[in-house]
Structure 1
Amino acid sequence: MTTSIIPTIQSYYTVKQQPQDNPPQYCTIQWRRNQLLVMPPGQVKQPYMPSLHQKHLLVECLKATPATLVRIDPKLGEARLQFWADACQAADLPIFLRIPSTDSQPKISSSLQGALKRLSNWLVALIFLIAFAPLILGLVSLMYLHSKGPIFSCQWHIGERGRLFKVIKFRTTVTSQKAFEEDAVYQNSLGDRKDKEELTVLGRWMRKYGLDNLPQLLNVLRGEMSLTGPRCWSLKDAVRLNFEAQRHLNRLPGIMGLWEVEAESDLLHLDSQIS
């Protein structure tokens, strides 16, 4: 059974009639089988909910709701998907894209072969991480000495069954106080952010040899990626895929698939896959 408003969220604060100066609601909240569904506005109307526009309010509501996970429609767009993903991360609640399923998809998690593959991926990733530890520590030291800002960059990507997770990479771009301020505004609201990349000297060298991807071994250890597999789509690209192409988002993505795509990024065109 589906209801239009989650009782826990609705009772968490006093629901007010939408004033003229408040932004319109961009989504419809529904509850189904312990899942919180976030969909584009439809025929079901709901009262004005401030938490849909303020991250800290949304985090508090998500912590109070009995939902075990959130499913969000990709039609809401990149900015709103990232807004919800950041809030769910802060509330320690998994979030998935509502993507079409496929009958031909193997149930890897329930098969012995899948369990063995995950175990082998984990062991190989651990061996690689230990083997490359001196190189990783050296890169961390160089970044600390020659490039101000965070060591790693984390961007939302789409994992198995449409689950959103952050791919870990070495930061290769220049950071500034202005960039930090713009990012803070973006993280706490639904404002648009203009991504401007300016590579550092070390970052350009790391990208040339693919060394910025070494931290992705941590994603393999966490079970979010595989060493080999289909392309790991970023959130930005995933929302532009058509209905049929989104079926591939159900599978566990691989590091090699992501590296191959990045190596050909200058020649890659998505026009044939974008609706």
Structure 2
Amino acid sequence: VPGRDGLEPSWVPLYRRISKLSHGRQPGMAAAEMTKYLRERRPLSEYQIVAYVRKLRKFKSNACALELMDWMESRGAKLHQALRLGLVSKVHGIQAAEEYFWSLPDKSKETYSCLLNCYGEHGMACKGLELYEKMKVMDIVPNTLLYNSLMTLYQKAGQPEKIPSTFEEMRESGISANNFTYFTLIESYITMNDLEAAEKVLEELEKVAPVHWSLYTLMANSYIKLELFGKSEVALKKAEEVMDKAELLSILAIQPRLRGSGSLCSPHSRNA
């Protein structure tokens, strides 16, 4: 059974060896470690390697993750197009990502969605929206990732007013929203100075599903800017209630802004 880090217990030792090599490493070291592991006649599955790639990406060890994909695919493993495309974009830039994308003979919906997301990450809203129009002509049915990428593009293009209608279209299509969807939706209302609408979205979400702490800290930051310190304190308390202990560290980044107002105690002191 995978642990909280998404890895099977037996996979952890090799992952630790690889992750150590990801810091200040020479190119090829991670691949060499994988080859060495195979020579020791130890079991190694494609699923296991992909799990390593995703975990390395999570911690921004993108070059190391891409090296593992190269190593895996050089041994005949199937292509994970979208995963590779995202890593190529992060490691080698958007031009290299475009070249890889257009070189693919068969492009999946996930691959199109990933390129859309890459344009968003690189701040290329116009190109991203052009790609989305092509996808509509091709009758590519949107999924959660595609809608999230589209809403991100609207935000980066300075068109936050298009995000709520996109969200409604998503709901009417029966496509599930995730935490990122709601974060972008709430952020769009904040950008449009409609704090009441942002609060309403959060209140409705609280009635039907667990709320991720990032949504509460997003609201807290908005309250701080408006000097609504009482509301920010409530939002931060709610964030702390749903955070893991490790995640509590992220809240420290906004605490200094509140200390001057005397409205926020340290989360550690309240829990003492």
Using CA pairs under 8 Å that are at least 6 residues apart, name the structure with larger relative contact order, 1 or 2: 1
Calculate the TM-score normalised by the size of structure 2. Answer: 0.29
The structure with the greater share of residues assigned to strand is 1
Of Structure 1 and Structure 2, the greater helix share is in 2
TM, length-normalised to structure 1: 0.29
Larger radius of gyration: 2
